[in-house]
């Protein structure tokens, strides 16, 4: 327990300091000084930059990597980019860590598809600017005829630009068999680039509530346009207090996110130091 306390304390201090350093920056270091647009091509490729010239045949886009000549007939849409941060694009995966939620809401008609460890699939979508619904299934159990399912509704609000509050339910079970639920509440301090989340959840299984709430302490800090660090941690108070978490990185593009990390827990130490975690998600 002493080592666990030191680990959690160090984690909170690191994430808090990283958050303060990021908030100390201003938006004067935006990538472009003119209006940035996002040009979406018919093949799905997207480019961000400022329009230098446009004719019926060609579109010349100034990007941070130089001048880009595009065939106008291959352009599907051109939309203004409201993102004013210092990176090339906004973080479209701000509403979750590796799998646990932040208190940042999923906006109306936006969402994401997520795959965890190849076999587990999720979809979450906002039905209003504050309410989202989601769920998923595990592929191997489904092929065997006993699918493991998930249901993940969430309510979240932006109290201030840097303070967010939310709550929801995580349900899981076998089709037609037993299920378990976790009701939770979370507070997130920060922005999509850098934030810390504190939360607690109470489990319910076989008609019985857990004796004590599980505690979540998680955070992220964006290092570059394409790279962020993530830390997701859970403490389960009991007679034998237990801990588990995932530590790693997120590799990002405007829509995609690849998460790689290590699942760690004192219970694993006698057998193996850590287990790999791999996930992929695409926002829409």
CATH number of the domain bearing residue 217:
2.40.160.40
> Which of 111, 135, 136 is CA-nearest to residue 121?
136
- Identify whether residues 205 and 273 lie together within a single domain: yes
Three-state DSSP state, 4: helix
- The answer to which of 56-65, 68-77, 81-90, 261-270 has the lowest mean pLDDT is 81-90
Compute the distance between CA of residue 77 and CA of residue 1 in angstroms, rounded to an integer: 56
Question: What was the pLDDT predicted at 48?
Answer: 82
pTM of the model: 0.74
- Taking residues 118-138, report their average pLDDT: 97
Residues 206 and 246 in one domain: yes
At 16 the pLDDT is: 47
* Cα(149)–Cα(164) distance, integer angstroms: 28
Do 92 and 119 lie in one domain? The reply is: yes
Q: Which residue has the higher pLDDT, 212 or 157?
A: 157
**Domains contained in the chain, number:** 2
Q: Are residues 154 and 99 in the same domain?
A: yes
Report if residue 30 sits inside a domain: no
In contact, 283 and 110? CB cutoff 8 Å: yes
Q: Is residue 32 part of a domain?
A: no
Query: Which helix (H) or strand (E) segment is 19 a member of?
Result: helix 2-23
**What is the domain range of residue 65?**
37-80
130 burial via Cβ count (<10 Å: 0-12, 13-18, 19+): middle
Buried b (16+ CB within 10 A) or exposed e, 136-153: bebeebeeeeebbbbbbb
pLDDT tens-digit readout, 212-227 = 899 999 999 999 999 9
Indicate whether 142 and 48 sit together in one domain: no
């Amino acid at each position: 327990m002493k080592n666990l306390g030191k680990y959690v304390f160090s984690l909170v201090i690191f994430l808090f300091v990283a958050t303060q350093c990021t908030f100390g920056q201003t938006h004067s270091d935006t990538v472009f000084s003119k209006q940035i647009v996002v040009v979406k091509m018919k093949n799905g490729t997207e480019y961000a930059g400022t329009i230098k010239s446009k004719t019926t045949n060609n579109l010349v886009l100034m990007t941070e990597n130089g001048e880009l000549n595009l065939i106008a007939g291959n352009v599907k849409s051109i939309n203004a980019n409201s993102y004013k941060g210092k990176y090339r694009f906004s973080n479209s995966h701000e509403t979750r860590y590796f799998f646990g939620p932040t208190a940042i809401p999923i906006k109306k008609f936006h969402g994401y598809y997520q795959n965890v460890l190849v076999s587990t699939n999720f979809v979450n979508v906002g039905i209003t600017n504050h309410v989202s619904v989601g769920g998923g299934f595990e592929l191997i159990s489904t092929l065997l005829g006993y699918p493991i399912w998930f249901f993940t509704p969430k309510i979240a609000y932006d109290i201030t630009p840097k303070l967010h509050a939310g709550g929801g339910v995580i349900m899981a079970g076998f089709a037609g068999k037993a299920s378990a639920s976790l009701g939770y509440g979370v507070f997130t301090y920060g922005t999509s680039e850098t934030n810390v989340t504190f939360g607690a959840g109470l489990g319910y299984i076989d008609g019985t509530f857990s004796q004590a709430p599980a505690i979540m302490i998680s955070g992220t800090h964006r290092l570059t346009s394409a790279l962020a660090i993530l830390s997701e941690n859970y403490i389960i108070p009991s007679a034998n207090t237990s801990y588990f978490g995932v530590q790693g990185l997120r590799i990002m593009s405007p829509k995609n996110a690849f998460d790689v990390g290590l699942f760690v827990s004192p219970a694993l130490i006698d057998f193996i130091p850590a287990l790999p975690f791999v996930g992929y998600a695409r926002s829409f």
